[in-house]
Structure 1
Amino acid sequence: MDSNRIILNYLDNKDYEGCKEFILWLLEAVKGYGVKLVDPGTAVLWSWGRGYGLDVDDPVEPYSLTPRDIVEGLCRVNLELGLPHPLHVHCNKLGIPGNCETTLKTMDAVSRLSSDKVILHITHVQFNAYLGGNWYDLGTGSEKIAKYVNTHKHVSLDMGQIDFGTATTMTADAPFEYALFHMARWKWLGTDVEAEAAAGIVPYKYRRRNFVNALQWCIGLEIALLVEDPWRVMITTDHPNGAPFTRYPKIMTLLMSKRFREEVMKKLNRRALRKAILPSIDREYDLYEIAVMTRAAPAKLLGLERTKGHLGIGADADVAIYDINPKELDPSRDYEKYLKAFKRAEYTIKSGEIVVMKGEVVNEVYGKTFYVKAKTKLEEEIYGEVEKFFREWYTVELQNYIIAEHELRNPQPIYVGGA
């Protein structure tokens, strides 16, 4: 939503009440769940072929706003609406050396809004944790990021871990994809979403012997191992950008076994390992911490902790059972057996029904589509304003933009706002 011209218009006029009404309308209209920002403000400048490297205090013309203003304003709106998920931010300057400082500034921009609960989620943080002034001088900012998170309770992270091999990068950060296309020298697709966003797709291959790629691999793991609270750092690969989500078993095992990490590092670029701090980290996650960061923490972060992420009374019967006896197998030493078990669950139970048995899919259960809906009727003025904006700025008709509830197979509204 960071480059949605209607939202920016409200923020520019400091009309936070109007912004709240519009965001509630928008989330219900498209059956969305939360507010995400992608390289805040960049898509506006990209309309004129600019915006690459936009930092938190740079102007987002023609508005009298900066990315900092957008992050802070929408975090405030998110809080006041009581949305189930914190403000979800893909930071500015993603994939650019030196962007660690930008990430720290972004996290600190909303620190005054809360000191005791998570109000900001930094996504795929690995791609925004770089030191250095160029690719040759690239360094790891994992210690700085982890130190901030360990001393501030208002922010959470997900890893954005890469794995080696081919990947498809796709993001609403069009300038980054354009830059990556020139580095990869392969293929590129770019597109604009009128009045809202700009996106791109570039296929890419991560290589073990490549200095940058090897250091990226180290940085993601470093952050997860240095952040002390598993409730505020989650496993992701930024699917499909860093790797497919099917690599989660490998990442879980890497976090649990230093020996496994050392085996992988034997094949990595040596200069990258000299710059990394991963070789010096001894911490190994236990199964409880893995369960937290892959199940309980994401459920809590999404506001679904009442029915998801635990085995208590009232929880949905969503359970994964692995063929592991932790009393007999040490994850640090027996990492290959853990990896094998994580890859092929003995049983996966969804909504009380067995869907996987002995690693094979045996059943299909159609899940729910969660979306945000206002508890009370929105102010009448918002409908007139939305119609006006659509007539002026969009080629698509308003009624074709809206997704009706009957178009969803199993809708599950989450009511917010109001009394």
Structure 2
Amino acid sequence: MLRIINGRVHDPLHGVVGEVRDLYIDDGRIVSEEGIEPAEARDMETLDAAGCAVLPGGVEIHSHIAGAKVNSGRIMCPEDHYGHVRAATDVTRPGCGLIVPSTYETGYLYSQLGYTTVFEAAVPPIEARHAHEELMDIPMLDTGCFAVMGNNYLIMKVLSDPDAARRTERLRALVPWLLRASRAFAVKVVNPGGVEDWKWNAGAADLDTPTPPFGVTPRQIVTGLATAVDSLQLPHPMHLHCNHLGDPGNVDTTLATMETLSGHRTHFTHLQYHAYGRTKKGGFTSGAARLAAYLDTHPEFTCDVGQIVFGDTLTMTSDAPMEFKLHKMRGAKWGNCDIEMEGGSGLVPVRYAPKVLVNAIQWAVGLELLLLIKNPWQVFLTTDHPNAGPFTAYPGIIRLLMDADYRRSWLEKLHPKVRSRTVLFDLDREYSLDEIAVITRAGTARRLGLASKGHLGVGADADVAVYPILPDKAAMFSRPRFVLKQGELVVRDGQVVAERAGRTLCVAPEGYRELPGDLAETFAGCYTVKLANYMVEDEYLRRPEVVPCG
């Protein structure tokens, strides 16, 4: 057993706001103090958290840490490795990289920020086996992945059925089969229809643009998949990357998508990239206020931000046409992959600069979303790592949210037109420590349907982050005093002191365990792999844990 004493506990799920409490841990879980004998308490290991805030371990809802595109990113940007090298110690393995860290380095860096659970946000089912191999290699973290379905050939084939009842029934069979085949946690949709359109040399996809070869529209894709996810009662709702990412004026498409999905549980990811207005001359403005107002009246929706971080990074996404457009705009290196039958992906290195107007607006829009959305349980902190910047920038973003004076000091560093095209510098709101706990762990855990994470109640996983209470919130969140993973001390004073393997989180929804006959025939006739080789076996999962549906 172990106890943490004298710390100020922040547990938003249970309404605990900075109360000095002791936490007791046994067998990897938070346990009640009741029933512990005085002699037993005297003998147990004790961590003194005086002067510290005690929070649940961080829960990352959207990051890119494993899979084919991540490996391609490591190859594309060898310069990322040169300046960021971790030598081996008695505890840690060597590692390198900051923008796209190696597998072990990813686990160490997240744990050094107090994070204990991370989800890879986009894995085509055909590439899931490799993604799981990398997730198994990442220490310190519980992990899972989201299966990409928005441009899947079999999904569109089912959606093209003119019989609505049969279409719904067949989709309700295909979606759980794909989740089981890929051992994934949730349904991911990226630029629905738009990636497949691009393969057919078509233009950008609006909500009602027919997608070859079946003529299915993005609106049909998102409503069909959202309905299936709701019917299956998956723990996490459909995880949606909307159409027209990065385009000026795309806030109209995002709002139209939200209106289409009204009443369906939906998580809108990296919403900053989908929150742009448009000037009369086609330039960028902020549309964050419009989206915040809509979200405030639709509690079924949540979002993460994808906050821009100034500096060098690497964009990687299943939105292949967007990456090609970015490549043509910047003349930068570009990598692309059309993933047979299931989607695409692309990679382009970028540099975000404060004096570049578009970048300055993007930076402001992300912060506006976080400050304008009233309910912190609806908006979560991400950088869409590494697309908008590395996750290691979280402490600096937290300072921007908690310190309005510091935030205002950035105005003079930005392009001079940013103030006229955004509302950020008119906002006085400052986040409390409890609101930070919501947007980085309590809210994300609840939206993911992880009942044992994101809180410090009895029975919760003993994933705990203890931070020294400092005036400089970036410094506070950069170097936790203690981090515990399943009750074991793994980080002390910001340094990894022990290595622990995490678990793989997945779902097993009700539905067909085999692909329906006609779809199996289509698979055999079109895929380059055998159906038996498509399924991810247990051997590719590390200590698998099935999170219940419903």
* Same structural fold, with TM-score higher than 0.5 when normalized by the shorter chain: yes
Q: In structure 2, do the counterparts of structure 1 residues 134 and 406 end up closer, same or farther at CA, with 3 Å as the change threshold?
A: farther
Match for residue 358 of structure 1 among 493, 500, 509: 493
Q: In structure 2, do the counterparts of structure 1 residues 385 and 413 end up closer, same or farther at CA, with 3 Å as the change threshold?
A: farther
Q: Which has the higher strand share?
A: 2
One-letter amino acid matched to 2:487: G
What's the counterpart of residue 322 of structure 1?
467
Shift of 1:186: 1.3
What's the counterpart of residue 196 of structure 2?
44
What's the counterpart of residue 69 of structure 1?
220
What's the counterpart of residue 71 of structure 2?
none
- Consecutive unaligned residues in structure 2, runs of 5 or more: 1-148
What are the residue-to-residue correspondences of 1:339-354 with 2, within 5 Å? 339-354=474-489
Match for residue 227 of structure 1 among 356, 368, 373: 373
The answer to which structure, 1 or 2, has the higher relative contact order (CA under 8 A, 6+ apart) is: 2
Shift of 1:233: 0.1
1:102-155 Cα shifts (integer Å, max 9, x gaps): 0001111121x35xxxx0111000000001168862110011000000111121
What's the counterpart of residue 4 of structure 2?
none
Does the 8 Å CA contact 2:306/2:366 hold for their aligned counterparts? yes
> Does structure 1 residue 409 correspond to structure 2 residue 516?
no
Does the 8 Å CA contact 2:177/2:513 hold for their aligned counterparts? no
Does the 8 Å CA contact 1:135/1:212 hold for their aligned counterparts? no
The 1-side partners of 2:293 and 2:535 are apart by 43
One-letter amino acid matched to 2:541: L
Shift of 1:249: 1.0
Match for residue 291 of structure 1 among 430, 437, 444: 437
The 1-side partners of 2:411 and 2:220 are apart by 41
The 2-side partners of 1:410 and 1:273 are apart by 50
The 1-side partners of 2:214 and 2:303 are apart by 29
What are the residue-to-residue correspondences of 1:18-29 with 2, within 5 Å? 18-29=170-181
One-letter amino acid matched to 1:370: L
Shift of 1:416: 3.6
Match for residue 210 of structure 1 among 356, 374, 378: 356
Shift of 1:386: 4.3
Aligned length: 398
Q: In structure 2, do the counterparts of structure 1 residues 182 and 133 end up closer, same or farther at CA, with 3 Å as the change threshold?
A: farther
Does the 8 Å CA contact 1:234/1:293 hold for their aligned counterparts? yes
One-letter amino acid matched to 2:427: I
Does the 8 Å CA contact 1:188/1:202 hold for their aligned counterparts? yes
What are the residue-to-residue correspondences of 1:160-175 with 2, within 5 Å? 160-175=306-321
SS at match of 1:270: coil
1:306-350 Cα shifts (integer Å, max 9, x gaps): 2001000110001110010xxxx6xxxx3xx22111011111111
What's the counterpart of residue 101 of structure 1?
252
The 1-side partners of 2:269 and 2:332 are apart by 26
Q: In structure 2, do the counterparts of structure 1 residues 31 and 38 end up closer, same or farther at CA, with 3 Å as the change threshold?
A: same
What are the residue-to-residue correspondences of 1:119-138 with 2, within 5 Å? 119-132=265-278, 137-138=283-284
Does the 8 Å CA contact 2:200/2:212 hold for their aligned counterparts? no
TM-score (norm 2): 0.70
The 1-side partners of 2:233 and 2:518 are apart by 23
Identity of aligned residues (%): 43
The 1-side partners of 2:281 and 2:523 are apart by 43
> Does structure 1 residue 338 correspond to structure 2 residue 486?
no
The 2-side partners of 1:224 and 1:269 are apart by 21
1:182-237 Cα shifts (integer Å, max 9, x gaps): 11111100110001101100000000110000010000000110000000000000
The 1-side partners of 2:211 and 2:249 are apart by 21
SS at match of 1:309: coil
The 2-side partners of 1:135 and 1:300 are apart by 42
The 2-side partners of 1:227 and 1:9 are apart by 38
What are the residue-to-residue correspondences of 1:391-406 with 2, within 5 Å? 391-406=524-539
- Consecutive unaligned residues in structure 1, runs of 5 or more: none
TM-score (norm 1): 0.92
SS at match of 2:413: coil
What's the counterpart of residue 378 of structure 1?
512
What's the counterpart of residue 5 of structure 1?
153
Shift of 1:43: 1.9
What's the counterpart of residue 62 of structure 2?
none
The 2-side partners of 1:407 and 1:230 are apart by 36
Range that drifts further, 354-363 or 398-407: 398-407
The 2-side partners of 1:6 and 1:302 are apart by 26
